[in-house]
Structure 1
Amino acid sequence: MIQIKLPFIHLKTNAFSYVIHITQVEKIEHVYFGKPLIDDDFKPLLFKPTAGVGSAILYDRNGQNLNLDFFPSEYSEFGKGDFRLTPLELHMPDGSFVTDFVYHSHEIQKGIYPSNDLPIGKENDSVESLILTLKDTKYDLYLKLIYTLYEDSDVLGRRAILVNNDETVHIRKLMSMMVDFVDCDYDLLSLQGGWIKESHKEITPLQRGTLLLESTTGASSNRVNPGFILMKKGTHEDFGSCYGFNLIYSGNHYEAIQVSNHGMTRVMSGIHPQAFHYELAKGQSFETPEAILTFSALGLNTLSNQFHHFIHEHITPRQFKGLLRPVVINSWEAFFFDFNESKLVSLAKKAKKLGVELFVLDDGWFGNRNDDTSSLGDYTVNLKKLKGGLKRLSDTIHKLGLKFGLWFEPEMISEKSVLYQTHPDWVVKVDGRTPSLGRNQWVLDLTNGEVRNYILKSMKQILNETLIDYIKWDMNRHITDAYSKHVKHPGMFYHEYIKGLYAILKDLTETYPNLWIESCSSGGNRFDLGMLSYTPYVWASDNTDPIERLKIQGGLSYFYPLSTISAHVSLSPHAQTIRTTPLSTRFNVAAMGCLGYELNLKYVTKAEQTEIKHQIELYKIYREVFQQGHFYRFNSPRKDLTLFQVSHNQTHILGFYQNGYDASPNTDVIQVKNLKPNQTYSIESVQQTMPIQQFGHLIAHAIPIKLNPNGYLMHKIGQYKRLNNATESYVVSGAALMQGIPVIQQFSGTYYNEQTRLLGDFGSQIYIIKEVGETHA
């Protein structure tokens, strides 16, 4: 709901109120962002500077003055006395950087104020927009601040549009949003990392000065995700006040959190100003990406679920909203580049028997692509590997009862390629300089319409000739040598590149609306709301080690729902860590996302294949819960334990993940969130097995005959037989489960029996909790 009683504007949802004040000097004051307000007398909430401060510069207008440096602004600017970071920097026609935007007009619009070429939230009946227009006092230059209230998701969208009706203006910085808080008692939660260590949660206390979260790689980056949270001291998963921010954008981004010398906190988010320069001629306008804001007074889990609801309702492409993601097997870790049609079909047949639904052929199917040094940019099928071509392979896969998917890397080009020999000018580079290589490849210039047309024509030819249900869209390097003759100014390159990418994705998704697209960029290098506007989910990381994935998927869960997180089970030990983990844990972690397998079933024993079949059967039963449920993290009772919960309708699934094992460990107590206290629930652990080899020489103490634990016979038995771990089953009240109940003791160094939980290092367990009936008083 948007209410206007000038000089106040009130934007309200069930979770928060957001209040703006138009001051007497016609500057826009940020008044309030927090718990919903029922009183519409906002005057007591206004900032109250009465004594003045030293070194003040006073802004004069309408017979009033204002110290802009000591003022909670809604959108500040450079040159009129605010010496903090500003969201706006323009090179004006008079040669200065001074601007002076004041209130001009406002309007409320049902639905979403349209965007020309950037993805924004999708509307429904709950959405309305405020257009707050400011005008420069010297030039015919307008700044439209767009506020879109997604009331059903408790989310506020903010973006800015600069409209020039005067002489040419040069934009050097234009943030999507800015907000000032009058205090600084916050911790910053951000997602930091790099390749194979994406999206690790990091908490930083605010202090005077500026914290920057930024990407300059040309993508939203695996280094710092554009999502971040400011939380009051003491806030945790289920308690406290917190503010969440994100950006619907896939390029270079910039988030600044600055604490002033008077303890005020300024937050801004938008396109990174580094190497950014946009020429705006008369009659033109420039639009920023949409920033997303939300607030929770009930801790981080509530904040996350507001983000998740927003993505499900307003970001995910409509045709995939609520559609359950298929169970995938991907060929990459099975074969890398070394495959032929026979190997692929053999893997597909085995995967089908285990319950897999979609077979994906990854890199290496085109040109002379036998390693990563050649053929990117070419789309001719390698007939040495695929003698019958893609169509025959696709037809064979479909006849098996599987869907077929194919890997593409459309944004890249290899020097050893037909495309490069034909169009060396299509490479992103600076004339006279040798462009830097990354993974033996260069970047194609997506600001060039010919390049975009070539990519679309090439991909459409394959999609039209071959039945393809899914594509994996990869992008395996950062952008360097950023320059193009197809943009007016070099400072426009990065943004125009991303707009070019969006144009390709828009065309492709409109032409093939039912085509699943999984975004990937060396793993999670482009995990953002911009890509999710076109692709329903993202490959979260090239790291498939489940212990590392707990940190990666746990970090992503603060901003993104499980339906967007692609997670696969691979062989162990893991290529990224050389860590050995149980098959059960690999599944138990991957199930907290969109499940897939990435392994060569040739190296999986019959006993393990049986286990995988049971895993997939379980996942399919509860797929809607895993992919569409409400997700919760726990304040872990110990540092080596991670707990996740996902709930949908009357079913709750609890994941218990042990990162290490202590001798003679403490008793484990498990809790379940958000149950009905007076309801009865069943709780059952999922049956899982252990390899006999896990016991090593100790197996001699558990069986009546003495066998060499490293001998042929034990090895042979282990291929067909695994040992059952303890299972648990209880019926208990919701009140007790929310309080916490003890579970079966873990092995404590002696006296193993069938009712002992044997988890050990990196062990885990999934519990299924269902509502069964009323508890009698």
Structure 2
Amino acid sequence: MDQITTTTLPTGPARPRRRTVLQAMLAGLGAVNARAALADTGQPAPAGGAAGASGVSDAATITYDAQQRTFHLRTPSTSYILQVLAGGMPAHVYWGRRLHSASWPGMRNGHEDAVAPARADLGDRDFSPNTQPQEFPGYGTGDFRHPAYQARLANGTTVTDLRYVSHRIVAGKPRLEGLPATYVEGDGEAATLEITLRDAPSGLVAILSYTAFAGHDAIARSVRFTNDGHAPLRLARACSAAVDFPHANFELLHLSGDWARERELIRRRLEPGMQGIESRRGASGLEHNPFIALLAPGAGEDHGDVYGFSLVYSGSFAARVEVGQYRTARVSMGINDFDFEWLLEPGQSFQAPELVMVYSAAGLGTMSRTYHGLYRSRLARGTFRDKTRPVLINNWEATYFNFDAAKLEAIARAGSDLGIELFVLDDGWFGKRDDDHSSLGDWVVDKRKLPAGLADLAGRVNRLGMQFGLWFEPEMISVNSDLYRAHPDWCLHVPGHDRTEQRHQLVLDLSRKDVCAHVLEAVSAVLRSAPVAYVKWDMNRNMSEIGSSLLPPAQQRETAHRYMLGLYGILETLTSRFPNVLFESCASGGGRFDPGMLYYMPQTWTSDNSDAVSRLRIQYATSLVYPLSAMGSHVSAVPNHQVGRVTPLRTRGDVAMSGNFGYELDLTRMGPEDKAEIKRQVAQYKALRGLIQFGDFYRLRSPFEGNDTAWMVVAKDKSEAFVVYVHVLAEANAPLDWLRLRGLDPAARYVCAADGKAYGGDQLMYAGLILPAMNADFLSTAWHLRR
């Protein structure tokens, strides 16, 4: 077996000028097939040799062409190609439908720029970096577009020029140090390329990592920086990846909003100049989700080119798209460089978060299902990754802070009678917490409300045949708390400035190891004190006065990212320590709904707005990236507490079933008719939850485009499907309407569980289901189809 994993090219101006790209392509192709890597040999690749390793699927291959110096990454349906130019610059070549070859005559390689410096050392006296599609662009050596990285050197300058040194290809996917990331459970599931680049004068080293998955049309990218020099340097920008597109004929799609109206779907044409989204909140945030996509004009659910970018990170981020003067588009995404800097002493490293990139030639639906499958099975982890989730009742909107053990037990008993499986005690059980003015940080049960403690209450719930769950907000501290009085320096703050409160609370400084240790032990003590089966982990404010009392002045701009590393460390330990606890993340609803949190907690509270009509838009847009198994979705009382709307209980149930199902209301105050409907909903969801949580999701009609919404979930083997249709406002004398389904087996026959009628799969997809007349506002209907 030929062994080739690392190839080293000479760098620097002494290298002879190479042939033009066209001449090289016509000269022939010598390929090195590297489906997996072996031990690092450090030897040049022999042209035409093949480096293979058993166990890696042909669906995920990484091929290196030693003669052309091209790398070809393949997933089942896509190709990603890059090339090392003469002089060592890594150039982007192609990303799109799967190709057989990585080389062809006329392959794009930049052109002359009349007003930009030329770089003869990169292969052509007329070569301009300002026009070259690059893999990891810097700034200061002829490219005037925004860079993917920037380092401030000991002499105060920021000019660096990363050049190729070596590469290796390995089977599987190495872990990212201290950060959440996608993973594999066997080396045959993926292949990974690592390219080492170095700036010789400064010693800055960047290792670009690319993973191609065998079972998913996704490529995961990240970069690790190391100071291999003799003097300190400071990273001022550290994007996870950049992609240069040969044109800018795209629409930009992103998800923006605010509290109670998270993830509005925004779509607009790219224009010359810079456009993008970012968070400067210290969290991924309510305002923007860490996801963007570039769409071919007119691309829809089932047609058109789509390029998705999803950042596996929960802190401040930036996603930028620059349209340059030659109508090309450069995408970069990663940690927000606003108020960011990272000191790298000699020998030290910095790992950037992972960016998951998905290309679809068949529209947004295929892109979404790719993200869903990857995030559900190879981002989420732990005991509950593959388990169906319990139906729950949460007391928050039933009681808010005003409760005692008897009231909670009564709600739980009513839930048990209706088939609900989990009772969750929300805010107000600790310290002296009668409102949001106090006690965050004092994670000791309030004996005024629960005189016998949590263990007694949990025991009462367990005896009803239900599990017991609990709300926490461990990242925060109330000014009126015993913890703050004992440790006023434990919050984020800047000496001499006021400590800005929101909800009468401050943010604990999780960049400090002592604070992280306290949070970990305080939460662990509570979880050990009672049989807690579920934790809702909340975070209800963003960062201000971002400073740490333990970091030196030169490292204060590291605080926000060190906070995230501290939080990730807490969650890694806590979820490992309590593997049988189902954790759900929350941040004022969906303020930190991101892939980073899904790595530790397999589900997230989608929004504090539980109104069924509002949730149509929120859940539809969330599904662009995130699977239904990640969405908390509950039925609440009417008039709705967020918008005051009155919707039928049936509609609230149909909408909430498209996620992890539950209730947020006082069951003890409901009449027999409503209780009967809830009992029916709970039974229906239990019968369908395996399908809903783990099936393939299809969006059928968009709430952003009309007066109705529809979606469906199809079993992996296409044996059954669940379809929901919601009509918002009634229309007098409305015409007949047909709903076309997707994802079924066209050759199969499907029976509707409600009326026993049979349909052909082709009939359901190409002709459709006739929709019933909707003679009132906010009505819904649902179909369960079996093959």
Task: Tell me, yes or no, whether TM beats 0.5.
Answer: yes
Q: Secondary structure at the match of 1:160?
A: strand
1:12-91 equivalences under 5 Å are 12-47=74-109, 49=111, 52-61=112-121, 64-65=124-125, 66-91=127-152
Superposed CA deviations along residues 563-587 of structure 1, whole A, max 9, x for unmatched, are: 0000000001111111111111111
Match of 1:576 among 629, 642, 649: 642
Aligned residue type for 1:180: D
Match of 1:639 among 706, 712, 720: 706
CA apart distance, 1:114: 3.0
Aligned residue type for 2:156: G
Q: Secondary structure at the match of 1:274?
A: coil
- Give the corresponding residue for 1:8: 70
Aligned residue type for 1:93: A
Contact 1:8 1:42 in 2 (8 A): no
Aligned residue type for 1:437: E
Question: 2:177, 2:238 → 1: CA distance?
Answer: 17
1:499 equivalenced with 2:565 (yes/no): yes
1:715-726 equivalences under 5 Å are none
In structure 2, stretches of 5+ residues that fail to align are 1-60
Question: 1:112, 1:434 → 2: CA distance?
Answer: 46
Question: 2:123, 2:142 → 1: CA distance?
Answer: 17
In structure 1, stretches of 5+ residues that fail to align are 686-727, 747-757, 772-777
CA apart distance, 1:39: 2.7
CA apart distance, 1:53: 3.0
1:566-605 equivalences under 5 Å are 566-605=632-671
- Give the corresponding residue for 2:166: 105
Aligned residue type for 1:658: H
Match of 1:664 among 717, 728, 733: 733
1:525 equivalenced with 2:591 (yes/no): yes
Which piece of structure 1 moves more, 207-216 or 172-181? 207-216
- Give the corresponding residue for 1:739: 766
Contact 1:113 1:146 in 2 (8 A): no
- Give the corresponding residue for 1:708: none
Q: Secondary structure at the match of 2:262?
A: coil
1:281-296 equivalences under 5 Å are 281-296=345-360
Q: Number of residue pairs matched?
A: 716
Question: 2:116, 2:518 → 1: CA distance?
Answer: 58
1:155 equivalenced with 2:215 (yes/no): no
CA apart distance, 1:40: 4.0
Contact 1:122 1:313 in 2 (8 A): no
CA apart distance, 1:257: 0.8
- Give the corresponding residue for 1:352: 416
CA apart distance, 1:427: 1.5
CA apart distance, 1:319: 2.4
- Give the corresponding residue for 2:615: 549
- Give the corresponding residue for 1:676: 745
Aligned residue type for 1:240: G
1:434 equivalenced with 2:450 (yes/no): no
Question: 2:307, 2:317 → 1: CA distance?
Answer: 19
Contact 2:71 2:83 in 1 (8 A): yes
- Give the corresponding residue for 2:693: 627
In structure 2, the CA distance between the partners of 1:485 and 1:79, relative to structure 1 (3 Å rule), is same
Match of 2:604 among 511, 516, 538: 538
Question: 2:320, 2:408 → 1: CA distance?
Answer: 48
1:678-693 equivalences under 5 Å are 678-685=747-754
| Percentage of identical aligned residues | 36
Question: 1:325, 1:453 → 2: CA distance?
Answer: 30
In structure 2, the CA distance between the partners of 1:731 and 1:217, relative to structure 1 (3 Å rule), is same
Question: 2:113, 2:509 → 1: CA distance?
Answer: 52
1:260 equivalenced with 2:324 (yes/no): yes
Question: 2:235, 2:702 → 1: CA distance?
Answer: 47
Aligned residue type for 1:70: T
- Give the corresponding residue for 1:765: 781
Superposed CA deviations along residues 313-335 of structure 1, whole A, max 9, x for unmatched, are: 21111322211111011110010
Aligned residue type for 1:768: H
Q: Secondary structure at the match of 1:235?
A: coil
Which piece of structure 1 moves more, 271-280 or 459-468? 459-468
In structure 2, the CA distance between the partners of 1:290 and 1:48, relative to structure 1 (3 Å rule), is closer
- Give the corresponding residue for 2:723: 654
TM-score (norm 1): 0.91
In structure 2, the CA distance between the partners of 1:431 and 1:235, relative to structure 1 (3 Å rule), is same
Which piece of structure 1 moves more, 599-608 or 363-372? 599-608
- Give the corresponding residue for 2:395: 331
Aligned residue type for 1:57: P
Contact 1:158 1:177 in 2 (8 A): yes
Question: 1:111, 1:742 → 2: CA distance?
Answer: 45
Superposed CA deviations along residues 618-651 of structure 1, whole A, max 9, x for unmatched, are: 0000110111110011255971011111111311
In structure 2, the CA distance between the partners of 1:462 and 1:595, relative to structure 1 (3 Å rule), is same
CA apart distance, 1:287: 0.7
Q: Secondary structure at the match of 2:130?
A: helix
Contact 1:245 1:294 in 2 (8 A): yes
Question: 1:56, 1:141 → 2: CA distance?
Answer: 25
Which piece of structure 1 moves more, 487-496 or 532-541? 487-496
Q: Secondary structure at the match of 1:738?
A: helix
Q: Secondary structure at the match of 1:45?
A: coil
1:448 equivalenced with 2:517 (yes/no): no
1:180-579 equivalences under 5 Å are 180-488=244-552, 489-579=555-645
Aligned residue type for 1:528: D
Q: Secondary structure at the match of 2:532?
A: coil
Question: 1:285, 1:467 → 2: CA distance?
Answer: 41
Question: 1:668, 1:604 → 2: CA distance?
Answer: 35
CA apart distance, 1:448: 1.3
Contact 2:76 2:216 in 1 (8 A): no
- Give the corresponding residue for 2:7: none
Contact 1:407 1:473 in 2 (8 A): yes
Question: 1:408, 1:643 → 2: CA distance?
Answer: 35
Question: 1:284, 1:604 → 2: CA distance?
Answer: 61
Superposed CA deviations along residues 84-132 of structure 1, whole A, max 9, x for unmatched, are: 1111111012321100111111000112223221111121331221110
CA apart distance, 1:277: 0.9
TM-score (norm 2): 0.89
Match of 1:92 among 147, 153, 166: 153
Contact 2:153 2:202 in 1 (8 A): no
In structure 2, the CA distance between the partners of 1:761 and 1:20, relative to structure 1 (3 Å rule), is same
Aligned residue type for 1:487: L
CA apart distance, 1:552: 0.7
